[in-house]
Amino acid sequence: MDDKSALFRRLFPAGHDVACQGPVLQGWGDAGDGRMHVVGTTDHAAIDTRIALDLARAVLEAVAQDAGRAPRPIVFVADTQGQALSRHEELLGLNGYFAHLARCVHLARQQGHRLVTLIDGEAVSGGFLAFGLLGDAIVALPGAEVRVMDLRAMARITRIPLERLAELARTSPVFAPGAENYWRMGGIHALWAPQDDWGAALRSLCAETGTEDQRARLGTERGGRRLALAIARQVRDAA
């Protein structure tokens, strides 16, 4: 199993207790300001109905635990290769299980929990959409891989030569894998370096993060996504 305990020691110098059930992580950690909830996946999990349900239950338990008290932040640890690919999972309606998980995450936000996602390992398309990508703030840790599809597969499907994609990917963040690309597009709020104090960074992120979706604005400011905010505004303000 991919060991996240080194990560948790860095994040939570004041202590942590995170259990691992299959690839699902659930527990608490203390970065110095008191306990926060920890929910996530490890081992590049391919998210199936079982994992989606376990994650959703963990989020609902965090919300239930804090009923009647100040809601504590929830730290999502995202490490997923995407959704499970199987006929059985499709028949069950895996997309509906992901939608349920997304609703649980949104409920937590509405109940006042700050949601911080840490990508440690991989974050890939569907498995990322259902929960990590719904955080109020999203951080990529060193070595994190974020993508929809690698360039080779993309070249095959779009029938655009790989060389052309690779060439364009040097300047455009819009399709090629990479945490930096997502940062430029505003989809990742921060990239933490190995030498950073992650506990302190997590504390300040929890204190500063709001609940508005700022990603399109960040993408505009950082120059990696120039149309998302502008077009949405045009639609909102159209006569």
| Contacts (CB under 8 A) with other proteins, residues 136-195 | 147-149, 154, 157-158, 160, 164-165, 168, 172-176, 181-182, 185-187
Contact stretch for other proteins (CB under 8 A) within 9-17, 28-36, 201-209, 227-235? 227-235
The tokens of 164 are what?
């052309």
The tokens of 219 are what?
């993408």
**Size of interface with other proteins, in residues (CB under 8 A):** 76
Closer by beta carbon to other proteins, 20 or else 129: 129
* 42 scored as a contact of other proteins (CB under 8 A): no
Closer by beta carbon to other proteins, 134 or else 137: 134
CA atoms within 13 A on the CB side of 21: 11
Name residues contacting other proteins, limited to 83-142 (CB under 8 A).
83, 85-100, 102-104, 106-107, 110-111, 125-126, 128-130, 133-134
Longest dimension (CA), the chain: 57
Q: How far is the CB of 57 from other proteins (least distance, A)?
A: 6
Among 60, 166, 190, 193, binds other proteins (CB under 8 A): 60
The tokens of 171 are what?
């300047």
Among 9, 10, 35, 50, binds other proteins (CB under 8 A): 50
* 63 scored as a contact of other proteins (CB under 8 A): yes
* 204 scored as a contact of other proteins (CB under 8 A): no
Q: How far is the CB of 238 from other proteins (least distance, A)?
A: 4
Q: How far is the CB of 194 from other proteins (least distance, A)?
A: 24
Q: How far is the CB of 120 from other proteins (least distance, A)?
A: 19
Closer by beta carbon to other proteins, 14 or else 190: 190
Q: How far is the CB of 115 from other proteins (least distance, A)?
A: 11
